[in-house]
Amino acid sequence: MSTNAISAAGEKRLHEVLSAYVDSGKIPGVVALVGRGDAEPYVETLGTTRHDGGPPMRRDTIFRMASTSKPVTVAAAMVLLDDCRIRLDDLVETWLPELADRKVLRTINSELDDTVPAKRPITVRDVLTSTFGLGMDMTSLGTPIMNEVFAKGLTPNLPEPMPEQDEWMRRLGTLPLMHQPGELWQYQISSDLLGVLVSRVSGQSYGDFLRERVFGPLGMKDTGFFVPQDDLHRLPPLYVPDPATGEFHVWDEVEGGRHSTPPAFQGGGGGLNSTVDDYYSYFRMLLNQGTHQGERILSRPAVELMTTNRLTAEQLAWREAMARDNVHISFGQGQHGGWGFGMAVRTYRGDYAPVGQFGWDGGSGTSTYADPANQVVGILLTQVGASTATPMQLMQDFWTTIYQALD
């Protein structure tokens, strides 16, 4: 029987596409959800939590959400905006004094002491739009600034976890910016910086604030920056296949792994753990313009700001060029165009998804988007890192199949 989220033929086709990946042995297991309007969402659970067998994937399996954390954790900042505790053009140095009096590299290849003064201070808007001047630029690997970002442990997924937030800020404050504030879109660091800002403005930990104002009201009981001991049996290991051979290597084990205890740094850029139903509640709330079961979580303007393009024409051209010219880095992740707050927003039709679709993908094999035009939410969860093309190709095929299946 069709749930009406997609057609019966669509369900069959989606099952075939997902099963082919699991049967290939390259993806141990997958949990996928497609929801449309008020219909009961269609959910697939296939395969196992370990590549060598183990328990089957279940609807309540908990996943490391990686960069699909970004569209969710940004909600904390929107709550503060709604509460008038921060404003878009406030200077962040009020709460983040480590970022006052910035210097900016003369060129992206410059030595760290070859700088000019910043033309203006950094604002909340710069951080929300990922344009404050520092980020993970995979097209600039090997430059002095990128080498130092890695050396100082400012990004997740390094051998050493990130330090607690005050030490992280101290290290961040020793670096010059790559670009002038508000000039160019940059990935990742702004999302983690936002968590520090929320924590300092609210006087609470980032996780506590999110739980109180976002996760709790949405019923997202399995979402947080670590998995409690009693629930660890629902968390699979995270695999990073060998790029040459495809052999599975465990990047993060369950017991004693990075997500089994509270982290020193609660990273908005990639630290969440969650389930398919928790994420469905969140993205459905965004499609409902900020309400959940009659309760308002975010204002309608806050949701509109998050989920529509916030980049200028110049910033958009830069971001589009990165997607177009660096498909070899992202395994052809897709060309979205714009960026809102914490998430990609499609500003032109580059594939099967329409203009206006918003969300993001994660390097642990996760993909989460919502589409206002079709009132569709799609969520794809695996635990296979993007060291090979397979997880990204699975995401692409998942979305291609969904859009064929809509009546």
| Partners of 362 in the β-ladder | 366
pLDDT class for 380, splitting at 50, 70, 90? very high
As a dihedral over the C-alpha atoms of residue 139, residue 388, residue 189, residue 145, rounded to 10 degrees, the angle is -40
pLDDT surpasses 80 at 1:
no
Report yes or no on whether pTM surpasses 0.85. Answer: yes
Mean pLDDT, rounded, of the chain: 95
How confident is the model at residue 3, as a pLDDT? 65
As a whole number, mean pLDDT of residues 76-95 equals: 98
As a whole number, mean pLDDT of residues 372-398 equals: 96
The continuous run of DSSP H or E covering 267 comes out as none
As a whole number, mean pLDDT of residues 236-243 equals: 97
Between CA 285 and CA 151 the distance in angstroms is 39
How confident is the model at residue 326, as a pLDDT? 77
What are 280-336's pLDDT values in tens digits? 999 999 999 999 999 999 999 999 999 999 999 999 988 888 878 877 766 766 778
How confident is the model at residue 157, as a pLDDT? 85
Q: Residue 254 is encoded by which pair of tokens?
A: 């369950």
Give the pairing type, strands 238-239 and 295-296: unpaired
CA-wise closest residue to 176 among 94, 108, 270, 250: 108
CA distance to 68, 225, 260, 274, per residue, from 228 (Å) = 20, 10, 7, 12
SS3 call for 216? helix
What are 386-395's pLDDT values in tens digits? 999 999 999 9
How confident is the model at residue 175, as a pLDDT? 98
Percentage of residues of the chain with pLDDT beyond 70: 98
pLDDT class for 2, splitting at 50, 70, 90? low
Between CA 391 and CA 401 the distance in angstroms is 15
Q: How many helices (H) and strands (E) does the chain have?
A: 14, 16
Percentage of residues of the chain with pLDDT beyond 90: 89
What are 22-53's pLDDT values in tens digits? 999 999 999 999 999 999 999 999 999 999 98
Position 245, amino acid: T
What are 171-224's pLDDT values in tens digits? 999 999 999 999 999 999 999 999 999 999 999 999 999 999 999 999 999 999
Cβ atoms of 176 and 112 closer than 8 Å? yes
pLDDT class for 277, splitting at 50, 70, 90? very high
What are 357-371's pLDDT values in tens digits? 999 999 999 999 999
As a whole number, mean pLDDT of residues 64-85 equals: 98
Residue 285, CB-side half-sphere exposure with 13 Å CA sphere: 28
